[in-house]
Chains A and B, each alone.
Chain A
Amino acid sequence: MRIIRFLFATMVAANAFSSAARSADVEPVEYIVSSQIVSDEVTGSNTSGGESISGGSCAPGSACANRNGLGVGGVGRLAGTGAFASDLVQGGFAGDITSGCVPRTYGYPDLFYNFYTQGNCNATNAQMYISPVPVPPNVGHTFYTYQPFMPHEMLYWHKDRFHNYYDGGRGMNHTKVHYFGPPVRQAASNFYWNKLRIPR
């Protein structure tokens, strides 16, 4: 898929993530990443990671098919832990790994993952999304589920390739994207801003 998009010169701002500071009264933000629950909290969350399997062992030859579908431990069960996504892991799908059943996965690349400032000397760290304007935690969250449309890709002229493995590595979806701006208009703009504009 070849996407022709204009190169946005927008600078997106991201704030230092404020949800961590208010974790006393706000639920920790959880994201579905490859049908696993990955928490944004760095430490101190017992729901992070997809390996926390609570009720997932099914004996060979028993009700495995039922558990794999939407039956006993699947999507339909919303009670219990309360969160739909955590039910997805704890109830049925990831638990079948132990018994040899192939779980139902939703693609290996993350559906959404944030980016964070790096380094050892930061007194505080910032997450890149939500951008351009962060919202209070009670407002909600937005997710980009298609990586080529993430706004930080529009910041500069480049090519990028996105791979999506599925079916246990037997299938691969490959997307190559060209991010560029219109050359003639860009040249005219550069000529104006670099040569003609009166500095003031």
Chain B
Amino acid sequence: MKRYLLSVLAVVAMATGAAAPTAKAADPYAATQLWSNQMAAQRAWHGNYAYLPYGQPTALVVPPNVHSRQTLSWGVSQNLMYPLNHQFGRNATAPGALPAGSFQATPHWPSHTDQFGVYYVRGPW
């Protein structure tokens, strides 16, 4: 009887352990968020190219739990992966849009995904 109870308990423990959500972020002090804020404060969210339909660098909103971005480029081993730090926030920031022509247009033969002028920015939590 005792062995039977123990085995039942083991089965129940295994079942509940398997059913529990496993992918918990092991980041209780939100250190990655701090890193992201620091990195985003020191880097621009955009590159040097404007998205042609708008004439400005254009932010593509991605989910806030996105970690990284991939750039594809012409040439050997220039497909790079970067952390995606920038996130939309509540503070209104300056400057706004620059005059038209402040950024380069997409070349006729683009050689890098940044040249399309669309850059990822994570949405707010």
Contact = CB atoms under 8 A, between A and B. Distances in A.
B42 to A, nearest CB: 6
B46 A11 contact: no
Given A15-B54, A118-B87, A119-B86, 17 more contacts: A13-B61, A18-B56, A20-B96, A20-B97, A114-B92, A116-B88, A116-B89, A119-B44, A119-B45, A122-B45, A123-B95, A124-B56, A124-B57, A124-B95, A126-B45, A155-B62, A156-B65
B10 interface: no
B8 interface: no
A185 to B, nearest CB: 18
A12 B63 CA distance: 10
Contact of A12 (B51, B61, B65, B103): B61
B102 interface: yes
A121 B41 contact: yes
Interface string A129-147: 0010010000000000000
Given A14-B58, A15-B56, A18-B97, A121 B90 contact: no
A122 B57 CA distance: 11
Interface of B: 37, 40-46, 51, 54-65, 86-100, 102-103, 118, 121, 123-124
Contact of A15 (B43, B58, B98, B99): B58
A14 B61 contact: yes
B15 to A, nearest CB: 18
Contacts, number: 141
Interface of A: 11-21, 40, 42-43, 113-126, 128, 131, 134, 152, 155-156
A126 B44 CA distance: 11
26 contacts: A16-B46, A17-B96, A18-B55, A18-B97, A20-B95, A21-B96, A21-B99, A115-B90, A115-B123, A116-B93, A117-B45, A118-B40, A118-B41, A118-B86, A119-B42, A119-B44, A119-B45, A119-B86, A121-B44, A123-B98, A124-B98, A124-B102, A124-B103, A125-B95, A128-B88, A152-B88
Give the dominant DSSP class at B's interface. Answer: loop
A42 B92 contact: yes
B58 A120 contact: no
A118 to B, nearest CB: 4
Pick the most buried of A11, A125, A128: most chain B CB atoms within 10 A of its CB: A125
B41 A16 contact: no
A84 to B, nearest CB: 23
B34 to A, nearest CB: 14
